[in-house]
Structure 1
Amino acid sequence: MNIINELGILAIAARLQRLAEQIRKDGVLIYKANGIDFEPKWFPVMYTLHVKPILSVVEVSAEIGYSHPSTISLLKELEKQKLIKSGKDKSDERKRMIQLTEKGRSLIKRMEPVWEVMIAAAEQLTETENNLMKAMAEVEQQMEVQSFYQRAKVIMAADESRK
């Protein structure tokens, strides 16, 4: 057992990050095993544009739940790879509209069967007694009600009032 595991709940963010990194690394290996050169970090944008073919930068950001700067960074990488293209919105020139290129759509077609394999493997991993996906959804709902920071502030204020 390493120190991060021993820390328990105090290291929740580190453990989630470690788990995500392990899954990402294996995702790269799965794509490579299928002859696909793809970074798992691109998945949220690519899949979103697969389902919703043309969106503004702000809409992409909202759909994937990332900050605007993080979304811009991903979009730049995808544009450099020629997987997406952008253009000005005809009705509002300030808006940049994003869509998959032909190369991007072709890549999605090659990835779809691989996603089925990934879903099956992920289901095996997460179908545990405490089902990780259900637990994550519950925690996300709890954070919508009151964030981690807000909860800590309430606890600190209560501790302060007891002094």
Structure 2
Amino acid sequence: MNLYQNLGYLAFGSRLRRLSEAFLSEINRAYQNEGIDFDASWFPVFYLLSQNESLSIKELSEQIEISHPAASQLITGLKNKKLVATATCTDDGRRQLVQLTDSGKALLAQVLPVWAAVREAMDELVASEPGCRQLLPAITSLENTFRSTNLANKITEKLSATLKTEAYE
């Protein structure tokens, strides 16, 4: 067992970050192997725009669950690469609607088979390891728990209880 495994929940975030970085690195390498200039960090935007003709930056940020400034920064990067364009919403001049450009649509056509292959490869990997089969449901449960629980307050409560116990000893 390595250090991170021994530390349990103390290293939980670090383990998830390491796993995420390793996963995204492998996905980016798959795009490179296919000669596709696509970054895995663009996936949520491309996926949502593949399902919707256009979305506002606010809608994107809400669906991706990132801050509005982070979504704006991501869209700006994609605009600089000429993969998306923005237009002012006719109903509300404050809203910017994002849509794929022709280049973005061409790139989407290239990545769709990769997405299907990722899904198939991950299904096979998970099926081959019994311990992995509940991974996605467990992550969903944990996400829901974090949404309904203030972990920082819970930690503070534990610290307060510990301090009170130590004061009486």
Report the equivalent of 1:129: 131
The separation in 2 between residues aligned to 1:44 and 1:147, in whole angstroms, is 27
5 Å matches for 1:10-159?
Answer: 10-127=10-127, 128-130=130-132, 131-159=134-162
Q: Quote the Cα distance in structure 2 between the aligned partners of 1:97 and 1:13.
A: 34
The separation in 2 between residues aligned to 1:110 and 1:149, in whole angstroms, is 43
Distance 2:140 2:53 in 1: 27
Structure-2 separation of matches of 1:118 and 1:147? 34
Compute the displacement of 1:104 (Å). Answer: 0.9
Aligned counterparts of 1:18 and 1:143: Cα–Cα separation in 2? 20
% same residue: 31
Q: 1:132, 1:147 → 2: CA distance?
A: 23
Q: Structure 1 residue 141: deviation in Å?
A: 1.2
Single out whichever of 94-103 and 119-128 deviates more from structure 2: 119-128
C-alpha displacement of 1:150: 3.0
CA distance in 1 between counterparts of 2:98 and 2:164 reads 52
Q: Secondary structure at the match of 1:111?
A: helix
Q: C-alpha displacement at 1:161, in angstroms? A: 4.0
The answer to which of 1-10 and 68-77 deviates more is 1-10
Gaps of 5+ in 2: none
Q: When the two structures are superposed, what TM-score results if normalisation uses the length of structure 2?
A: 0.88
Deviates more, 1:151-160 or 1:85-94: 151-160
Structure 2 Cα separation of the partners of residues 136 and 122 of structure 1: 16
**C-alpha distance in 1 between matches for 2:77 and 2:22:** 22
Q: CA deviation at 1:148?
A: 2.4
Bigger radius of gyration, 1 or 2?
A: 2
Q: Give 1:120 deviation, angstroms.
A: 1.3
Query: Could you tell which deviates more after superposition, 152-161 or 30-39?
Result: 152-161
TM score, norm. by length of structure 1: 0.91
Moved over 6 A (4+): none
Q: Is the 8 A contact 1:84 1:98 kept in 2?
A: yes
| Number of equivalences | 163
CA 1:53–1:151: 2 relative to 1, 3 Å: farther
Give the gaps of 5 or more residues in structure 1.
Answer: none
